[in-house]
């Protein structure tokens, strides 16, 4: 196997495909064997003709041309871009020229691999010298570094010689067909040339003396030199002047290139290098709620569930899968996902006792589908009266909301906004003894908190509050609606408690614990 890796130190590759005008701003991608062979000839002429003979060059290029067509490994992120320039001419004349190029990472290699080709030692030596001395590939701005590689099998080749661009079994389009030029093997060129000259009425060298040629015959003859290497080196302008639509010494090979191998704009999902800084993960969305009357904070769980329902209905309209993404639904998640999915948290930001905002918090981060869905939510239906209007205020990490939402602050001491309901059954002795019950509840709370993630600060102190203030009202736990709308759920605690908890060090909210904590029960806010 022979494989060559090309990297472009300036991150740019400029090359115009054969037969295209430079101002069409197309890019010949991938670089074909025809271009590479011509680049080798030019490099030999300019830098190596004193060290290697013409016959050696012929031998190497013929081996490449006669081998099975190579496969390519194309870099994943390649952008097809162009710049425009005025090229000054004589006097005041300015010509507008387009300079198209592929912009790629300087360290992302393009690999060309011949699966079943091995060369002799002399050819390897020449090839290595050509690769070292190859300064650019394509136009002069396409600085290139090329080298032979041994680990070619580790690459996956995504641009292969074939004329099939669909999966026959599934009918799926798997790529696009590009036609790449490659040199004809020397013997085929000889036959082709003989046929062309005979057809044009020109005697070949072996047929002896030539009659005086007409101008078009001369032009044709100049593009069909007897030497195969000379035929590859004929200037493109000469070929075009003689009327060739493709170089006579070249053949066309169909390749399947991945769809989007050359993008005109970078995909917005590309992960950018972070230079060692922590990546900002989008976990939280905040909605403002409008309507009259606004629901009371006591009905928080109803509103949390209503928002989840609204999202579920919207998913059917806006998402291709017609389902809530797992991080919003909480379904089909791996066993390890303990509360990494969405919390739908109603919020009373102005302390008037009415829910005026909603926070959707997904600790595992929001996917593109989730963002698309949340940005399309407009209204929240109630059992009666006008629907409540939802206005998306923003998306970001929880910390982005700390100045406007108490749920997103960092604090050591937190107190209940809605009652905490313990999630696991108490044992009978504990049920009979209030002291034992309180100890067991505190134990459950600590256990649940420790399962929220590794390295979280411990709960140092838990205290029960008789009541909390909201909108000028004193609210006890029993004033709140404490039941899920979903039937058939086991609910060990129907009473609920209002708590104050203190952590060993500050934690970032939202903090929601206990039964129904994903829908608005067991919510906490920092203690002022």
Partner 1 sequence: MPLNFDSLASAPRLLLEARLQPIQGTRFQPTGFPNLGHATYDGPNGERMLLVESAQSMANRLETVCWDKAADDWIAPLQGLPLVKVRDKDGAALTNTVLEAHRINSPYILEGKDKTVFNTLKSELAGMEEGPVDIKQLAVVLLKLDTNALIHGVFLAKSELAGGRLRLPRVLSSFIEAEDVKEAQSGGVKNDHVNPSGDTARGFGNVPFARSEFTSPKIVAYFNLDLAQIRAFGLGTTVSELLIALSLFKIQALLSSGLRLRTACDLEVNEEPGLIVTRPLDFEMPSLSDLESALPELIAQVAEEQQWPQRTATTLTWEPTTKAKKGKADAPADTEAAD
Cβ closest to partner 1, residue 148 vs residue 263: 263
**Long-range contacts, stretch 319-326, CB < 8 angstroms, 24+ apart:** 319/369, 319/372, 319/373, 321/369, 324/373, 325/367, 325/369, 325/370, 325/373
Q: Which helix (H) or strand (E) holds 512?
A: strand 511-512
Cβ closest to partner 1, residue 8 vs residue 519: 8
Q: Shortest approach of partner 1 to residue 49 CB, angstroms? A: 9
Cβ closest to partner 1, residue 145 vs residue 464: 145
Counting DSSP H helices and E strands in the chain, the numbers are 12, 22
Cβ closest to partner 1, residue 278 vs residue 336: 278
Helix axes 54-66, 121-133, angle to 10 degrees: 100
Q: Shortest approach of partner 1 to residue 44 CB, angstroms? A: 10
Whole-Å CA distances, 147 to 5, 8, 133, 158, 449: 6, 12, 10, 20, 56
- Residues with Cβ within 8 Å of residue 140, at least 6 apart in sequence: none
Cβ closest to partner 1, residue 131 vs residue 306: 131
Residue with tokens 């579920």: 312
Q: Shortest approach of partner 1 to residue 270 CB, angstroms? A: 4
359 close to 365: Cβ distance less than 8 angstroms: no
Q: Shortest approach of partner 1 to residue 197 CB, angstroms? A: 19
Q: Which positions touch partner 1 (CB under 8 A)?
A: 9-11, 45-48, 50, 75, 77-79, 81-88, 90-92, 94, 96-97, 99, 103-105, 108, 132-133, 135-136, 140-141, 143, 145, 233, 235, 263-268, 270, 272-273
155 close to 113: Cβ distance less than 8 angstroms: yes
Cβ closest to partner 1, residue 99 vs residue 327: 99
Q: Shortest approach of partner 1 to residue 455 CB, angstroms? A: 31
Cβ closest to partner 1, residue 136 vs residue 343: 136
Q: Shortest approach of partner 1 to residue 109 CB, angstroms? A: 13
What is the CA 11 to chain-centroid distance, rounded?
19
Cβ closest to partner 1, residue 141 vs residue 460: 141
* DSSP conformation letters of 252-290: EEEEEEPTTSSBSS--TTPPPP-TTSPPP---EEEEEEE
Cβ closest to partner 1, residue 97 vs residue 391: 97
3 close to 128: Cβ distance less than 8 angstroms: no
Q: Shortest approach of partner 1 to residue 50 CB, angstroms? A: 7
Cβ closest to partner 1, residue 235 vs residue 458: 235
Q: Shortest approach of partner 1 to residue 141 CB, angstroms? A: 5
446 close to 459: Cβ distance less than 8 angstroms: yes
Q: Shortest approach of partner 1 to residue 99 CB, angstroms? A: 7
> Does residue 338 have a cis bond before it (omega within 30 degrees)?
no
Q: Shortest approach of partner 1 to residue 282 CB, angstroms? A: 16
Q: Shortest approach of partner 1 to residue 51 CB, angstroms? A: 10
323/321 Cα distance (integer angstroms): 5
Half-sphere exposure (Cβ direction) of 32: Cα atoms closer than 13 Å: 23
DSSP conformation class of 48: I
Cβ closest to partner 1, residue 265 vs residue 278: 265
Q: Which helix (H) or strand (E) holds 147?
A: strand 145-148
Give which of 142, 68, 132, 47 is closest to 104, Cα–Cα. Answer: 142
Half-sphere exposure (Cβ direction) of 328: Cα atoms closer than 13 Å: 28
Q: Shortest approach of partner 1 to residue 307 CB, angstroms? A: 32
Helix axes 186-199, 54-66, angle to 10 degrees: 90
Half-sphere exposure (Cβ direction) of 164: Cα atoms closer than 13 Å: 6
Cβ closest to partner 1, residue 278 vs residue 454: 278
């Amino acid at each position: 196997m022979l494989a060559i890796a090309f990297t472009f130190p300036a991150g740019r590759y400029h090359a115009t495909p054969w037969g295209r005008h430079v101002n069409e701003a197309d890019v010949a991608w991938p670089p074909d064997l025809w271009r590479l062979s011509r680049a080798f000839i030019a490099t030999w002429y300019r830098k190596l003709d004193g060290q290697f003979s013409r016959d050696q060059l012929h031998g190497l290029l013929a081996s490449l041309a006669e081998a099975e067509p190579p496969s390519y490994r194309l870099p994943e992120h390649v952008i097809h871009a162009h710049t425009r320039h005025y090229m000054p001419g004589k006097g005041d004349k300015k010509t507008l020229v387009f300079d198209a190029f592929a912009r790629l990472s300087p360290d992302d290699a393009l690999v060309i691999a011949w699966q079943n080709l091995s060369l002799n030692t002399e050819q390897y030596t020449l090839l290595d010298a050509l690769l070292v001395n190859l300064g650019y590939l394509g136009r002069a701005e396409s600085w290139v570094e090329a080298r032979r590689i041994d680990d070619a099998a580790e690459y996956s080749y995504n641009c292969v010689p074939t004329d099939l661009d669909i999966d026959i079994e599934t009918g799926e389009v798997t790529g696009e067909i590009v036609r790449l030029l490659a040199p004809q093997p020397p013997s085929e060129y000889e036959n082709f040339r003989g046929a062309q000259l005979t057809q044009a009425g020109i005697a070949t060298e072996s047929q002896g003396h030539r009659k005086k040629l007409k101008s078009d015959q001369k032009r044709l003859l100049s593009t069909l030199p007897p030497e195969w290497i000379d035929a590859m080196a004929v200037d493109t302008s000469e070929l075009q002047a003689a009327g060739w639509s493709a170089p006579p010494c070249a053949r066309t090979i169909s390749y399947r290139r991945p769809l989007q191998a050359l993008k005109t704009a970078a995909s917005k999902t590309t992960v950018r290098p972070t230079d060692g800084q922590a990546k900002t993960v989008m976990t939280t969305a905040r909605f403002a709620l409008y309507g009259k009357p606004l629901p009371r904070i006591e009905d928080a769980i109803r509103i949390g569930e209503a928002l989840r329902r609204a999202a579920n209905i919207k998913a059917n309209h806006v998402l291709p899968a017609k389902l809530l993404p797992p991080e919003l639904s909480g379904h089909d998640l791996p066993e390890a996902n303990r509360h990494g999915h969405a919390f739908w948290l109603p919020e009373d930001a102005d302390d008037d006792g009415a829910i005026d905002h909603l926070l959707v918090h997904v600790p595992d981060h929001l996917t593109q589908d989730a963002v698309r869905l949340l940005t399309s939510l407009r209204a929240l239906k109630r059992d009666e009266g006008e629907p409540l209007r939802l206005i998306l205020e923003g998306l970001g990490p929880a910390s982005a909301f700390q100045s406007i939402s108490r749920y997103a602050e960092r604090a050591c001491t937190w107190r209940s906004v809605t009652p905490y309901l313990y999630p696991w059954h108490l044992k009978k002795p504990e049920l009979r003894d209030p002291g034992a019950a309180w100890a067991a509840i505190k134990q459950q709370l600590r256990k649940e908190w420790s399962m929220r993630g590794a390295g979280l600060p411990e709960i140092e102190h838990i205290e029960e509050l008789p009541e909390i203030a909201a909108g000028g009202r004193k609210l006890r736990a029993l004033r709140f609606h404490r039941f899920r709308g979903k039937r058939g759920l086991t609910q060990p605690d129907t009473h609920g408690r209002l708590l104050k908890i203190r952590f060993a060090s500050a934690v970032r909210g939202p903090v929601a614990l206990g039964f129904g904590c994903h829908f608005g029960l067991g919510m906490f806010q920092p203690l002022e």
